[in-house]
Amino acid sequence: MSESQDLLQHPRRNLGNRYRSTAQKFAKLAKADPARAAENMAWAEQNARQAILHDFTDERNWRYLAELKVLNEDADGLHAVLEDVFIILGRDPENLDQLSGIDYLGVGRELLEAAFARDALDPDAWWERLSTTEGDEGINEFAERCRRLDFRDQRANIVFGRRLERLRSAGHEEVFIELAKHLLAHRPINHELWLEMGRLHERRNEIDEAWSCYDQVQQLRPHLKERDRFLERLKGNMDGEEKKPWSGPSIDHRKAFLEGMQSLTERISSPAEPIQPAEENSEENQVHPDEAKLANLIEQGDLQSAFFLARRLLASGEGWAEDWLVQIQSQMV
C-alpha cells in the first residue's frame, strides 16, 4: 500500500502528520527569529502534542515532541513524554524502573528509541520483528508479559489489541483468546476486541461463546446489532424445519461467562483499600447486597469488576442493575 493510500484509510494519521509538520515549521521559525523564539517554540510544542493526540501510534510524533523537549531543555517534560509512552506500552515495571534517577536530557531520547525498538507501536512492524527474529519463543514471552501488564489505559488496550489481531491472523487462536480476555478484563468497554473475539468463536462454531461476545458488543454499542445479526445468521444456516431455532445460550452459561471475566478482573486489579460501609439500623436504608457490592467496587475504583458484576446481574434478570451499568460505563470512557 502506498503512503497516500495509507493516509486515505487512516485520516487520524493524516491529521497527525499535518500537526507534526506544522510543529516543525514553528520550530524553524523559532530558530530563524530569536526575538520570537519562545512564542514559536510554544506553538511548536502545542502542535506536536496535537499530533500525538490524533495519532499516538505514529512513533515519529513522539520522537519529535521529545526532540522539542531537549531543545527547550525541559527535563521534566521529557520525563512526562517517556512516562506516557510506557503507559501505552502497558506500564511494564522494567520500563518504569528506568525512569528513576537518569539524566533525561542526556539519555531520554535514547531510552525512547530503545523502547520503540523493543515494542514498536505500529502493529505490523511489531509483528514483523517478533515473527522473523523471535518466533514461538518470542510469542510465549509476549504472552507472559501481557499477563502482568496494565491495560486500563485506552491507548494501551488499542495497541495491544491490534497486536493480538496479528497473532490471530497468524493462526495463534488460543493465545489470542486468552490474552484478549486479559485485555478485556482491564478495559471491558473495548467493543472492537469483543467483536474480534466473537467472530473467531463463530468461525470455530463455538456458538455460546460467540453469542456472549456479540452480546457484549451490542450492549456497548446498541446500534451495531451484532448479536441480532448473529442470530439471523444462525437461523439462515438451519436446514429444514425440524430444528428448533436457537435463541441464545442458557442463563447459566451467560452467568458463568461473566463470572469468569469478573474473576479474572479481580485477580489482576489493584483497587484501593476496601471502604467499610457505615452501619445502618434503619430498615428503610437497607439495600440489596449486590447493590452494596457495586457501590463499594466503584468507590474503590475497581470499575472493571463492577462492570462484569452489573452485567451478570442483568443476565440473571436483575433489571435494577442497568442503571448501575450505565453509570459504570460512563466512568470508564
* Structure confidence at residue 8 (pLDDT): 41
Q: Residue 186: name the closest of 304, 324, 83, 72 by CA.
A: 304
pTM of the model: 0.77
Domain final residue, candidates 117, 150, 183: 117
* Structure confidence at residue 218 (pLDDT): 92
Q: How many domains are contained in the chain?
A: 3
Q: What would the pLDDT profile of 247-273 be if each residue is shown by its tens digit? A: 567 777 667 777 777 676 776 665 444
* Structure confidence at residue 242 (pLDDT): 47
Whether residue 204 has pLDDT greater than 50: yes
Q: Does residue 79 fall inside a structural domain?
A: yes
Q: Taken in order 213, 166, 161, 20, is the CA torsion positive or negative?
A: negative
Asked if residues 71 and 41 have their Cβ atoms less than 8 Å apart, the reply is yes
* Structure confidence at residue 12 (pLDDT): 67
* Structure confidence at residue 19 (pLDDT): 96
Whether residue 282 has pLDDT greater than 50: no
Q: What would the pLDDT profile of 120-179 be if each residue is shown by its tens digit? A: 999 999 999 999 888 889 999 999 999 888 898 999 999 999 999 999 999 999 999 999
Q: Does residue 282 fall inside a structural domain?
A: no
Q: Does residue 321 fall inside a structural domain?
A: yes
d(CA 135, CA 151): 24
Contacts of 58 (CB under 8 A, 6+ apart): 13, 16, 17, 20, 51, 121, 122
141 and 70 in one domain? no
Asked if residues 63 and 24 have their Cβ atoms less than 8 Å apart, the reply is no
Whether residue 219 has pLDDT greater than 70: yes
What is the arithmetic mean of pLDDT over 200-213?
A: 91
Sequential DSSP letters for 188-253: TT-HHHHHHHHHHHHHTT-HHHHHHHHHHHHHH-GGG-HHHHHHHHHHHT--SSSSPPP----HHH
* Structure confidence at residue 244 (pLDDT): 52
134 and 203 in one domain? yes
Where residue 187 sits, what CATH number does that domain have?
1.25.40.10
Q: Taken in order 8, 13, 16, 22, is the CA torsion positive or negative?
A: negative
Q: How confident is the model at residue 275 (pLDDT cuts 50, 70, 90)?
A: very low
* Structure confidence at residue 99 (pLDDT): 82
* Structure confidence at residue 87 (pLDDT): 93
Q: Does residue 23 fall inside a structural domain?
A: yes
67 and 86 in one domain? yes
Q: What would the pLDDT profile of 14-47 be if each residue is shown by its tens digit? A: 899 999 999 999 999 999 999 999 999 999 999 9
Tell me what the pLDDT averaged over the chain comes to. Answer: 84
Q: Does residue 276 fall inside a structural domain?
A: no
Cβ neighbours, 10 Å, residue 54: 19
Burial 146-170 (b: 16+ CB within 10 A, else e): beebebbbebbbbbbbbbbbbbbee
328 and 303 in one domain? yes
178 and 155 in one domain? yes
Q: How confident is the model at residue 50 (pLDDT cuts 50, 70, 90)?
A: very high
Whether residue 181 has pLDDT greater than 80: yes
95 and 19 in one domain? yes
Whether residue 180 has pLDDT greater than 90: yes
Q: What would the pLDDT profile of 73-116 be if each residue is shown by its tens digit? A: 999 999 999 999 999 999 886 777 778 888 999 999 999 999 99
Could you give the percent of the chain with pLDDT greater than 90? 51
Q: Does residue 267 fall inside a structural domain?
A: no
Whether residue 277 has pLDDT greater than 80: no
Q: In which domain, by residue range, is 15 found?
A: 8-117
Assigned C-alpha cell, 101? 534517577
Asked if residues 261 and 310 have their Cβ atoms less than 8 Å apart, the reply is no
131 and 113 in one domain? no
What is the arithmetic mean of pLDDT over 288-305?
A: 86
Q: What would the pLDDT profile of 158-169 be if each residue is shown by its tens digit? A: 999 999 999 999
Q: Does residue 265 fall inside a structural domain?
A: no
* Structure confidence at residue 9 (pLDDT): 43
Assigned C-alpha cell, 255? 452467568
